[in-house]
């Protein structure tokens, strides 16, 4: 059993060292090249200078003094969300004049430019269509009628034919007509109305043109080529996947599909809010972890999958591809879940968060095999760099068990729901689950002003069309090359091959700190590390000494000694430095161990 509560230790300086009087840190590790004779001062100076030059060439730094955390600090950090602990690390990493390598957050440092430029061009067209009011400057009336809008748009684009955005927008109109059966006038009018944002969203759940386009994109993304279903999926546009999560939990609770004390399964490691939200007083659910195995590339073993057969488990929540595992589930794992649902648990419903699905070449998900049991959650945030735009969507097949479960509720619960929704419609029993998500998101009373802002829906539509039109997946290949090169740099610095494969997103990576310790300094040292310290000790030292911020895997219900590295948010060369700093981290703790052993 690991002992995560060792007492704070102080490390004394050597007798003649005045580093503390100077306010500095003592370089505690002694390297073979530094074993010099005291009487030869010139040789000592030359040796130290040579060592320093060598370390600088390698991108490393001299060893830093290890300062173990107190028991109190360990307990407090263990209770924090990994994202809140990241803030603690960020503060610790701030040293005047030194850069901080914060690979703790997954906000990408790349964006899609084509759609942003096209959005600007479409917005200009929409404003140009408004006719000026007779009173006041900068006052106009937006044009609303559809007839003739496509022709006007075509003329507008022809005048800017030398710009790539004009060609892209023309292709969007053509694709919508030929592939989605949306008349050009209706498409242009719908997009003009959306981008101007001068009306409340109607329909509130999602505008008609955006819903049809985004549905087509989500089907292409989630289903294998040649096997895209004809069944209709209903969509609810949300303020990112974060809002989608909150709305889903709330509506499940308000409609008695989950209740306090219910068990829900989580495939772990998983995005930490899925761990933290269920146990809040609002829900009081009991999470059951279905643990993926690091040894098998983050796939779920059969004995863990068998937990889903437990009839007390109401729902399964999963992020696929994983965050932080950064691997898509295998076909075998998905088929195993579908088999359990079909043969043992037809009442089990699944929420699958597929934010990272665009990054992989091989994607398998339960929505492909049991769509009627599945709530899909997707966000554009990471793939096209729009975390600030808050673009998310919930999607549910028209024929689903959620509506059937609502109809099967006992009469007393139906009566409570009629009372809840009676101000929305004369027939509350007929409200489908997807509409209840929208209504509950605005606490019923404000449902008439609900929905995602229409300009957000407009750019979401353009991003979807961009991907539908990019049949060669040029953009995707560019992102994959970028992320995989960063992964290679990180692992080259660690001195080991980078993980590869068609299910790898390369968006994050989980570095096993204990395995790294064993590889660099032997299994005895790794065992000592696990016995005397916690991952929080190592991550805090990494921040303080090397200005490097990583997240603890245990905060995602992952293996205790793993750390999550975001490969998306820093310049390429920083990942070499991060790898070198991880090696230096182990060197510091190894020196500490050796010094303790010698005492």
18-32 pLDDT, tens per residue? 333 333 333 333 333
Q: Which pLDDT does position 192 carry in this prediction?
A: 96
Q: Which pLDDT does position 146 carry in this prediction?
A: 78
> How many CB atoms are closer than 10 A to CB 120?
12
pLDDT at 43 over 50: no
Are 303 and 269 a contacting pair, CB within 8 Å? no
Of the candidates 171, 199, 227, which is a domain's last residue? 199
Same domain, 241 and 187: no
Is residue 38 domain-resident?
no
Distance (Å) of CA 118 to CA 39, 157, 251, 466 = 73, 11, 36, 10
Q: What is the DSSP letter of 231?
A: S
- The phi and psi torsions of 289 (rounded to 5 degrees) equal -85, 130
Is residue 579 domain-resident?
yes
Same domain, 522 and 425: no
Kindly give the interhelix angle for 184-196 and 208-222, rounded to the nearest 10 degrees: 100
pLDDT at 59 over 80: no
- Among 56-65, 133-142, 276-285, the range with the most confident prediction by mean pLDDT is 276-285
Q: Is residue 43 exposed (0-12), middle (13-18) or buried (19+ Cβ within 10 Å)?
A: exposed
Number of independent structural domains in the chain: 3
Share of the chain above pLDDT 90, in %: 82
Mean pLDDT, to the nearest integer, of 568-586? 97
Is residue 417 domain-resident?
yes
Of the candidates 199, 229, 250, which is a domain's last residue? 199
Are 115 and 566 a contacting pair, CB within 8 Å? no
Is residue 468 domain-resident?
no
End-to-end CA distance of the chain: 26
Look at 47 and 124; give whichever has higher pLDDT: 124
Q: Which long-range contacts (CB under 8 A, 24 or more apart) does 273-277 make?
A: 273/81, 273/242, 273/245, 274/245, 274/317, 274/319, 274/353, 275/556, 275/557, 276/81, 277/245, 277/246, 277/249
Mean pLDDT, to the nearest integer, of 232-254? 96
Same domain, 192 and 212: no
Q: Which pLDDT does position 38 carry in this prediction?
A: 34
Of the candidates 180, 199, 218, which is a domain's last residue? 199
> What is the band of 140 on the pLDDT scale with cuts at 50, 70, 90?
confident
3-state SS string for 547-598? CEECEEHHHHCCCCCEEEEECCCCCCCHHHHHHHHHHHHHHHHHHHHHHHHH
Q: Which of 14-28, 68-82, 454-468, 558-572 shows the lowest mean pLDDT across its residues?
A: 14-28
Mean pLDDT, to the nearest integer, of 314-318? 96
Same domain, 143 and 213: no
Are 157 and 166 a contacting pair, CB within 8 Å? yes
Q: Which pLDDT does position 63 carry in this prediction?
A: 65
Same domain, 124 and 257: no
DSSP 408-473: TS-HHHHHHHHHHHTTT-S-GGG--HHHHHHHHHTTTTTGGG-S--HHHHHHHHHHHHHHHH-TT-
Kindly give the interhelix angle for 454-469 and 164-180, rounded to the nearest 10 degrees: 90
Q: Which of 135-149, 326-340, 465-479, 492-506 shows the lowest mean pLDDT across its residues?
A: 135-149
Same domain, 537 and 592: yes
Same domain, 214 and 237: yes
CA-to-CA distance for 106 and 88, rounded, in angstroms? 17
3-state SS string for 245-304? HHHHHHHHHHCCCCCCCCEEEEEECCCCHHHHCCCCCCCCCEEEEEECEHHHCCECCHHH
Strands 313-319 and 263-268: parallel
Same domain, 587 and 511: yes
CA-to-CA distance for 432 and 426, rounded, in angstroms? 14
CA 18 to chain CA centroid, Å, is 47
Q: Which of 422, 525, 475, 478 is closest to 168 using CA atoms?
A: 475
Residues sharing a CB contact under 8 Å with residue 285, sequence separation 6 or more, in sequence order:
258, 260, 261, 262, 263, 264, 278, 279
Residues sharing a CB contact under 8 Å with residue 245, sequence separation 6 or more, in sequence order:
273, 274, 277, 353, 377
Q: Which of 31-35, 48-52, 394-398 shows the lowest mean pLDDT across its residues?
A: 31-35
Mean pLDDT, to the nearest integer, of 433-444? 97
Is residue 155 domain-resident?
yes
Mean pLDDT, to the nearest integer, of 252-273? 95
pLDDT at 4 over 50: no
Same domain, 263 and 299: yes
Same domain, 305 and 229: yes
CATH number, domain at 536?
A: 3.90.1150.10
Q: Which of 8-22, 79-93, 172-186, 237-251 shows the lowest mean pLDDT across its residues?
A: 8-22
DSSP 84-147: HHHHHHHHHH--TT---EE-SS---S----HHHHHHHHHHHHHHHTSEE-SSSTT-EE-----T
Look at 552 and 57; give whichever has higher pLDDT: 552
Same domain, 376 and 283: yes
Q: Which two tokens stand for residue 239?
A: 């303020």
Strands 548-549 and 263-268: unpaired
Mean pLDDT, to the nearest integer, of 448-456? 95
Q: What is the DSSP letter of 14?
A: P
Is residue 230 domain-resident?
yes
Mean pLDDT, to the nearest integer, of 156-183? 97
Same domain, 180 and 250: no
CATH number, domain at 158?
A: 1.10.20.110
Q: Which of 138-142, 172-176, 451-455, 482-486 shows the lowest mean pLDDT across its residues?
A: 138-142
337-369 pLDDT, tens per residue? 999 999 999 999 999 999 999 999 999 999 999
Q: Which pLDDT does position 585 carry in this prediction?
A: 97
Domain that holds residue 508: 63-106+475-598
Is residue 17 domain-resident?
no
CA-to-CA distance for 235 and 398, rounded, in angstroms? 10
Mean pLDDT, to the nearest integer, of 322-330? 93
Q: What is the rounded average pLDDT for all residues in the chain? A: 89
Is residue 34 domain-resident?
no
> What is the band of 7 on the pLDDT scale with cuts at 50, 70, 90?
very low
Q: Which two tokens stand for residue 420?
A: 């809840």
């Amino acid at each position: 059993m690991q002992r995560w509560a060792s007492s704070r230790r102080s490390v004394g300086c050597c007798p003649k060292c005045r580093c503390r009087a100077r306010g500095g840190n003592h370089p505690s590790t002694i390297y073979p090249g530094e074993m010099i004779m005291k009487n030869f001062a010139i040789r000592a100076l030359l040796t130290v200078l040579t060592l320093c030059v060598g370390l600088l060439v390698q991108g490393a730094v001299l060893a830093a003094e290890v300062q173990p955390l107190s028991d109190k600090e360990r307990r407090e950090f263990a209770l924090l969300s990994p994202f809140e602990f990241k803030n603690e690390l960020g503060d610790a990493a701030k040293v005047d004049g030194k850069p901080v390598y914060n690979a703790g957050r997954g906000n990408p440092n790349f964006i899609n430019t084509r759609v942003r430029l096209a959005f600007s061009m479409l917005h200009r067209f929409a404003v140009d269509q408004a006719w000026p009011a007779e009173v006041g400057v900068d006052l106009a009336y937006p044009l609303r009628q559809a007839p003739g809008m496509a022709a006007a748009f075509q003329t507008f684009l022809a005048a800017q034919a030398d710009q790539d955005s004009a060609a892209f927008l023309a292709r969007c109109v053509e694709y919508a007509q030929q592939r989605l059966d949306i008349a050009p006038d209706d498409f242009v009018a719908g997009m003009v109305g959306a981008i101007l944002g001068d009306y409340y969203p109607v329909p509130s759940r999602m505008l008609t043109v955006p819903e049809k386009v985004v549905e087509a994109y989500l089907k292409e993304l989630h289903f294998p080529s040649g096997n895209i279903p004809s069944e209709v999926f209903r969509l609810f546009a949300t303020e990112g996947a974060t809002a989608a999560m909150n709305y889903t939990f709330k509506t499940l609770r308000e409609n008695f599909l989950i209740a306090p004390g219910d068990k829900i399964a989580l495939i772990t490691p998983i995005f930490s809010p899925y761990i933290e939200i269920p146990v809040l007083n609002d829900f009081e659910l009991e999470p059951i972890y279905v643990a993926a195995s690091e040894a098998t590339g983050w796939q779920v073993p059969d004995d863990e999958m068998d937990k889903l057969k437990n009839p007390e488990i109401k729902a399964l929540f999963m992020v696929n591809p994983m965050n932080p595992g950064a691997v898509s589930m295998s076909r075998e794992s998905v088929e195993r879940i579908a088999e359990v649902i079909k043969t043992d648990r037809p009442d089990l419903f699944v929420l699958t968060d597929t934010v990272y699905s665009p990054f992989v070449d091989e994607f398998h998900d339960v929505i492909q095999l049991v769509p009627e049991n599945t709530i899909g959650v997707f966000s554009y945030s990471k793939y096209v760099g729009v975390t600030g735009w808050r673009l998310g969507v919930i999607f549910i097949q028209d024929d689903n068990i959620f509506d059937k479960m609502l109809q099967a509720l006992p009469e007393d619960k139906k009566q409570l729901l009629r009372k809840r929704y009676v101000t929305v419609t004369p027939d509350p029993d007929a409200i489908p689950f997807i509409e209840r998500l929208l209504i509950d998101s605005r606490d019923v009373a404000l449902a008439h002003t609900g929905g995602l802002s229409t300009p957000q829906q407009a750019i979401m539509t353009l991003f979807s069309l961009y991907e539908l039109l990019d049949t060669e997946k040029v953009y995707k290949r560019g992102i994959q090359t970028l992320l995989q090169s960063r992964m290679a740099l990180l692992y080259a610095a660690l001195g080991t091959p980078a993980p590869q494969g068609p299910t790898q997103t390369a968006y994050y990576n989980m570095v096993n700190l204990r395995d790294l310790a064993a590889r660099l300094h032997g299994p005895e040292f790794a065992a000592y590390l696990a016995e005397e310290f916690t991952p929080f000790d190592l991550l805090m030292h990494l921040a303080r000494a090397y200005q490097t911020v990583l997240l603890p895997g245990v905060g995602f219900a992952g293996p205790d000694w793993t750390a999550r590295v975001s490969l998306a948010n820093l310049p390429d060369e920083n990942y070499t430095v991060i790898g070198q700093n991880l090696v230096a981290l182990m060197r510091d703790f190894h020196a500490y161990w050796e010094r303790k052993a010698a005492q």
